[in-house]
Chains A and B, each alone.
Chain A
C-alpha cells in the first residue's frame, strides 16, 4: 500500500465550483505539505503544516484553504475554482530530516 495517498487522482470541474482534494499518510509524520506543479514552473508550495494545530501559508496560498483533520490527513480546498488553478497537485509528508515523500498527484482541470 502507498504511504501517501491522494483522492481523487483526476478531477474536471467548472469555474466557481468548490473542490476538495484529500491526502492521507501512513508514515506517521507530523509534517505535511501541498504543492502545485505547472509545466516550466516546477513545484510551488501552497500550504504546509508541521503538526495538527499548525497551518502555514506557502508561496501561492491565495484562492486555497487547508484543513489538518488529524496527523494523517491534510485536505486542500479551492473555494471557488478558476481556470488558472488547473494544475497537478501533490501532497507530501516529511520526517525530521525533511526527506519529503510525495503522493501520486491529483490532476485538476477547471473549465
Chain B
C-alpha cells in the first residue's frame, strides 16, 4: 500500500514493556524515525535508524528494523506514565519530505 501504517491504540501497565509497530512503504527509504507527541505539544524526535542497521538502542528505547518485511518497531522498556503520548513512525523517501503514519496512542495505567 501507499501508507505508513500503525495500530491506533496501545494500552499497557506501568512497568511493563510497550511495543509499537509500524509498516512502511518504500524499501529504498534511507532513514526511519520515531516521533513522540505529548498532549498540546508538537512532535519531538525520539530516535531514528539508518536503513543498513537492524537494531538501535538508546536507554529505554529499542528500535528494530526488518527490511525484508518493511517493518519497524519501537520498544519502550519499563514504561512510565510520562510515556503516555502519541507515537509516530515516519520514513524518508529519496528526494522527498518525511511520510508519517497516523500515530499510535499509548496509554499507560498505574
Contact = CB atoms under 8 A, between A and B. Distances in A.
Interface residues of A, number: 23
A interface SS class: strand
Interface residues of B, number: 20
Contacts of A4: 42
Contact of B45 (A42, A45, A99, A103): A99
A40 B42 contact: no
Interface string A34-51: 010000111111001000
A35 B101 CA distance: 13
A100 B45 contact: yes
Contact of A42 (B41, B48, B88, B97): B88
Give 3 nearest A-B pairs by CB, closest first: A42-B102, A102-B42, A43-B100
B interface SS class: strand
A98 interface: yes
B103 to A, nearest CB: 5
B77 interface: no
A94 B90 CA distance: 14
29 contacts: A33-B97, A35-B100, A40-B8, A40-B102, A42-B88, A42-B100, A42-B102, A42-B103, A43-B88, A44-B100, A45-B98, A48-B97, A58-B97, A90-B43, A92-B43, A94-B98, A98-B31, A99-B33, A99-B45, A100-B33, A100-B43, A100-B45, A100-B90, A102-B43, A103-B42, A104-B41, A104-B42, A105-B41, A105-B42
